[in-house]
Amino acid sequence: MLRKLKSLGLSRDDCVGFGTDGCSVMISEKGAVKEIQKEASNAVMTHCYSHKLNNVISQSSKDKIIENTVDVMKEICNTRWVEQHDGVLQFTTDMPEIVEAL
């Protein structure tokens, strides 16, 4: 992140926040958050709410049909979290052809 700021000609002092999923690589004492805050002292870390929402949804849907559908979608169109909405829409649109092909 710091290299990207520099490459864009942006001041580290103007960095006031960034989001992370909260994994140990990011938030440990030697993690990325501490490294970023060494150079961007105004930067405040916040947990990524999209990541939290994804975790809550995936943990709350224990219905076997939903689990199976999600598993099939992952096999067919595994994408990054931010692209999953588009992937679900595409899967829904293409579902008849997928079933026919099987």
Between 35 and 71, the higher pLDDT residue: 35
Q: What is the mean pLDDT of residues 56-75?
A: 76
Between 89 and 60, the higher pLDDT residue: 89
Domain spans, the chain: 2-47, 61-101
Q: What is the mean pLDDT of residues 24-45?
A: 86
Six-digit token string for 77? 């169109």
- The residue length of the chain stands at 102
Considering only 17-26, 44-53, 68-77, 79-88, which range has the smallest mean pLDDT?
A: 79-88
Q: What is the mean pLDDT of residues 59-65?
A: 76
Q: What is the mean pLDDT of residues 11-33?
A: 83
Instruction: Give phi and psi for 27, each to the nearest 5.
Output: -110, 0
Euclidean distance between CA atoms 23 and 41, whole angstroms:
21
